[in-house]
Amino acid sequence: MKRLFWAAGLCLLPWIVVLGTTLPDGYPAQHWRLAWTGFDAAEAFGLLATAWLLGRDDPRTPFAAIGTATLLLADAWFDVVTAGDDVVFSLLMAGLEVPLALACLSVAVPQRMPAHV
């Protein structure tokens, strides 16, 4: 499995160069509202699931927390890079999303190392 991840990651590098040199700076998107509300709904679900699992001391909590942190960091990234004229609002949103993502990651990281490590 490790080789698959290495190969996939390395294969993406030239693709990133192609995208960076060929994609237009702007592109009108369809279903923009649905994309963003759906993305935020996924974040809300992730936050609620993380809180619920955390409250139950469920061993699956780190998975929900990491997934939610990933969504929040991706949202912050796209908020900022697609901001246009709303850059201040986008930075404010990222200022909320990044700390929330860090809070999720703090839940996912074990507080103490197991004795056998």
Annotate the chain with three-state secondary structure: CHHHHHHHHHHHHHHHHHHHHHCCCCCCCCCHHHHHHHHHHHHHHHHHHHHHHHHCCCCCHHHHHHHHHHHHHHHHHHHHHCCHHHHHHHHHHHHHHHHHHHHHHHHHCCCCCCCCC
pLDDT: which is higher, 112 or 12: 12
> Whole-model pTM?
0.82
The answer to whether the beta carbons of residues 27 and 81 sit under 8 Å apart is no
d(CA 51, CA 44): 11
pLDDT at 48: 96
93 or 58: which leads in pLDDT: 58
Q: How far apart are CA 63 and CA 94, in angstroms?
A: 22
Residue 86 or residue 43, greater confidence: 43
pLDDT digits (tens, 9 = 90+) for 24-78: 888 888 998 899 899 999 999 999 999 999 999 999 999 999 999 999 999 999 8
Are 82 and 64 within 8 A, CB to CB? no
Summarize the confidence of residues 94-104 as an average pLDDT: 92
